[in-house]
Structure formats: structure tokens, C-alpha cells
Amino acid sequence: MKKQILLLSMLFAGISLVFAAPQEPVFTVVEKEQTPYLATLKELVSIESGSRDREGLDKISALIFNRLKALGGQVEFIEPGADMYRMHDTPDKPGRMVKAEFKGAGTKKILLIAHMDTVYLKGMLLKQPFRIDGDRAYGLGISDDKQGIALILHTLDVLKKTKFNEYGKITVLINGDEEISSPAARALLSKLGAENDVTFSCEASQAKSDRIALTTAGIAAVNLNITGKASHAGAAPELGRNALDELSFQIQQMRDLSDPKEGIKMNWTLATAGTNRNVIPSVAFATADVRVMKKDDFDVVEKKVLERTKTQQIPDTKVAVSFERRRPPLLTSPQSLQMAEYAKKVYAELGKDLVLGTVAAGGGTDAAFAAFNTQNAVIESMGVQGFGAHSNDDEYILINSITPRMYLLSRMIMDVSRNKVGAQN
């Protein structure tokens, strides 16, 4: 009896191995891409490309343009246009976008997105160049999101090397303004998202949780500008109109606008006022960070803010308020969930468990713009596993996640193209 049980166990184990085996020749080709991938990543990380560094953004976008062209794409630069959504911190000239199209013999349309800009200041690269330490590759912007650019480039190379062209069209969009809420790219992202059957956003996955994201929070900002009147703080304070006092009052009367049950969070995060210690401040400014889980909640918060600011404490002060919709929320659509469940099965071929992130965790995403006007599948965090985004000195990716993630993206493109998954037409 024990022998029979052992034989059955071995048989079922063998069956599991058959079902779990990665597909060839795709897996072998992907495995060989890891070393070239790291070389590409070093090249990308070695170009400083902060969101306000137009010189650096032009340099890295030229590199991306040439790489996509060499892969056979029809490539173009897209400068910020008249449809740009300006916010209080939007630079005069955000980075340009690189858009590429690869036409195949099939019908499915697939959008791949990533961003080239980082949060880091020019000059920081000198102290923190690209380096490899064990299973980690370090560098500024390496996780957020230069690994995503490299992943797209080498996934396209995998398709080329395996002579796969069963897609209708693959569109690649790499933007240079994601870290400042995509003022220039959001309109095009929304347009392309609606035109494609599926969008794969190649932001990094978490180093501690091998996941893809289906839901992210929406982000907004409340900006308060208070104008008062300056006066000597010691000799004639009564002649002034204290903008800082009015700002404090406004913040206090809007402390209760969060609604945890609805997923609404509003927190004051920045404030400045005055010019000198002995001068009644004539100007004051504050910003609140807003997070929502439904698009309509932007209107709810904005309405409450505008209503509250009608009440003022100090006469003759001026209260100006603006409400910026920085990113919409990304919600889990049935199509996205179906796509994600299929991705989980593909990942299991490598003996790995893909976590499906259906609860918002952390920041917003450009994928939400791609999903804004469509219910078609949009999957975020298709990139390699990373850690330390925005951390200044501890940003890295896990090298052992390169092959699994490139295999996953390659297979998803192939299987969507072959109508094996429920992408919408």
C-alpha cells in the first residue's frame, strides 16, 4: 500500500512538473537576455533624468528612441501640447514622450508603458553610480522606473528573436513626467488606453511581495494661498493682516474631511508663510494631500473644501483655493481581474506565486490614466521586483526577478495575441 501511495505521489508530482514547465523556446531566450538587460539598465541609470532636468530627459529619450527604432519600431518624439494639465508645480517644459509602434500579423492591440523621469536632483549620480552587490543592482531611478524601460526593450527583443508577430500592434509609450503627475502625458495615455485591448504598465513590483497591481488610489491636492497685509510685528501689528493666522484657521476647519469608510484621506503636508521674524506675514501657503478610491470622490472633497473656505477668520485677507486632480484611481475591472488570473497561471509555470493586488497600496499610477476611459484590462506593476523608490540612497532591483518578469510579460503578450486570454476587441 505504501508503495502504491509513493508511486501515486511521484506520478502526481510528475504531472505537476509537466504543467508547471515554462514554454520553450521563450524561456531559454528570456534567460539569455538577463546579462544584456543589466547592461541596458546600467546605461539608463547612468543618465540623470530628473523630472525638471530637460537636458537629461532629452538625452535619455534619445537613447530610448534609438533602441526602439533598432528593434524595428516606427518611433516618434511627442512634445507636451496644448492639452497639458497644469498644476502648481508643473515645469514650463516637461519632458517629451517617446512613442513606438510595432505592427504584426494579428488583430490584438497591446500597450506597454513606463517612464524615464526620476525624483532625483542633478549631480547625485556622481556619488551613486550603478553597481551590483550580490542579487541586487543599485542605482538612482533603477526601480522607479528604469527597470521598466529595460524590461520593455528586452521583451520586444525576445519577441523579435523568437520571430513572434501574431499581435496586431504593440504600442510603447515612455513618458518623462510621471513623477510630477504626468501633466503632459495623461491625455495621450487615456487615449491609447481606450484604443488598446490591454495595457501593461511596467512599474516595479515590490521586493517583499511578488505582486501585480489592479487597484491604486486616486491622488489630488488642495492648495491654499492666503494674502494678508504686512506690518511691523512689534511697533504696529494691529495695522497688519496676518496671513499665517488665517492659514492656521483654514487648516483647522478642514481637519475632518477624511472619510475612512469611503477611502477618502485628506492630510495637510506642506506650509510656508512670511518673510521675516519681525514682520506680520502678508502671504501664506499650504498644500493638502488627498487620496480617493472613486473618481466621484474628487468632486465630494472639492465641494467641501470650497464650502469651508467661504468662512474666514481675519477680515481683509484673501483666501484663494485650487483643487488639482493629480491622478485618478485605478479600479479592478472584470477584464483586468481575468487577465491577472491568467498571468498568475503563467507565473506558476516557473514555480512562482503571483500575488494579485486588488487593494490599493501606496501611490498612484499612470496606468490609471490608461484605464480612465475604458474597461479593458489594465495591469500595473509588471516590472521586476524593486525597493527604495524615492529613497535617495537605497534604491535597487532584485536580479533574480529579471527572468521571471520578462518571461511573464513576453508570455502575456503572446497569449493575448493568440486570444488565449479575455482581452476585449
List the catalytic residues: 117, 178
C-alpha cell read off for 153: 526593450
C-alpha cell read off for 56: 537629461
Contact 158, 151 (CB under 8 A): no
C-alpha cell read off for 142: 533603477
Nearest to residue 266, comparing CAs of 239, 236, 246, 288? 288
299-317 core/surface letters (b: 16 or more CB in 10 A; e: else) = eebbebbeeebeeeebeeb
Q: How far apart are CA 151 and CA 148, in angstroms?
A: 5
Cis (ω within 30 of 0) for the bond into 145? yes
Please tell me the number of Cα atoms within 13 Å of 38 on its side-chain side: 20
Q: How far apart are CA 190 and CA 175, in angstroms?
A: 13
Q: How far apart are CA 179 and CA 188, in angstroms?
A: 16
Looking at the chain, the number of H-run helices and the number of E-run strands are 11, 19
